[in-house]
């Protein structure tokens, strides 16, 4: 079953390779969508895919890469709003 999660990651997550790592892990897990930096220092992710893959990705997002430090993740699960053909860095 296809699901979608909107994730906001807070902490030391910009300038540490978070987006590149997110793209790598999303592709490994067959998750589509995007990741982008927000002006306030947070990272926004839209993750779409099979429910178990998205849940694994959410778990990874809460840890992030070793070079960063995630303080909080805010996750909203919802019905897919669009279709993505891959996972991109914006």
Which residue bears the tokens 């893959």?
53
Question: Kind and range of the H or E element at 78?
Answer: strand 69-78
Q: Of 10, 36, 37, 77, which one is the catalytic site residue?
A: 37
Asked if 19 is an active-site residue, the reply is yes
Q: Of 10, 19, 27, 56, which one is the catalytic site residue?
A: 19
What backbone phi and psi angles, to 5 degrees, belong to 67?
A: -80, -10
Give the catalytic positions in this structure.
19, 37
């Amino acid at each position: 079953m296809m699901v979608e999660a909107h994730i906001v990651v807070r902490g030391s997550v910009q300038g540490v390779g978070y987006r590149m790592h997110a793209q790598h892990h999303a592709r490994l897990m067959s998750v589509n969508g995007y990741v982008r930096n927000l002006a306030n220092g947070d990272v926004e992710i839209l993750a779409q895919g099979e429910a178990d893959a998205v849940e694994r990705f959410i778990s990874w997002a809460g840890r992030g890469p070793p070079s960063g430090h995630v303080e909080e993740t805010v996750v909203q699960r919802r019905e897919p709003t669009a279709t993505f053909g891959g996972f991109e860095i914006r």
